[in-house]
Amino acid sequence: MFAMNGGMYKTDNSPLGLFIDSGKTVVSINKASASGNFYLKPNGVFYITEENVAVVTTTEKFKSSANIKYATQSGPMLLIEGKIHPEFRQGSSNVNIRNGVGVLANGQVIFVMSKQPINLYDFANFFLKSGCKNALYLDGYVSRTYLPAQNWEQASGDFGVIIAEIISERPIK
């Protein structure tokens, strides 16, 4: 029903940061410092618990747990506790195709993919205006979205981490 890039990955298409699949940690959390969007602190983690509760949190606040079913680490955080990332600048000319994830106050998850280049400040502001307290940047110009219900089927490109929705009897809360 839906799929998009779910985080940054290395040249071999392996996740750059934390990746948990079906409760199994495939790649450990990455707390390194380096250049690039992933390392613009604070970066963060999007995860889903065994009870299908979705959470976006900073890498520093993330606590590993056997209760986590799926997780992906990326960066930077777009929103931190209702505030736009302090490094983002309104009017920045650093524009790109972007995608991200946020959790609304009612617990619903929103995934956003820009169709036109946008700067990080404006992208974060979209999540803020949508009602998210925390939101995470997932990927950039290589991002693709598969959403056939809206005639949006980008299937080309290389993907490392993918977030997808399949038909399920237990919706994410």
pLDDT on residue 164: 64
CA–CA gap between residue 73 and residue 98 (Å, rounded)? 16
Report residue 7's pLDDT band, with 50, 70 and 90 as the boundaries.
confident
Q: What is the pTM of this model?
A: 0.89
Residue 84 has pLDDT above 80, yes or no: yes
CA–CA gap between residue 41 and residue 137 (Å, rounded)? 12
pLDDT on residue 113: 86
Q: Which residues contact 91 (CB under 8 A, 6 or more apart)?
A: 119, 121
Kindly report the average pLDDT of the chain as a whole number: 88
- 9 secondary structure, DSSP code: B
Residue 142 has pLDDT above 90, yes or no: no
CA–CA gap between residue 18 and residue 29 (Å, rounded)? 4
pLDDT on residue 55: 98
pLDDT on residue 27: 95
Percentage of the chain with pLDDT > 90? 68
Helix (H) or strand (E) holding 162: strand 162-165
Report residue 165's pLDDT band, with 50, 70 and 90 as the boundaries.
low
Mean pLDDT to the nearest integer, 110-119: 91
What phi and psi values does residue 12 have, to the nearest 5 degrees? Answer: -90, 10
Cis amide prior to 76 (ω within 30 degrees)? yes
Q: Any idea what the Cα angle at residue 98 is, between residues 97 and 100, rounded to 5°?
A: 165
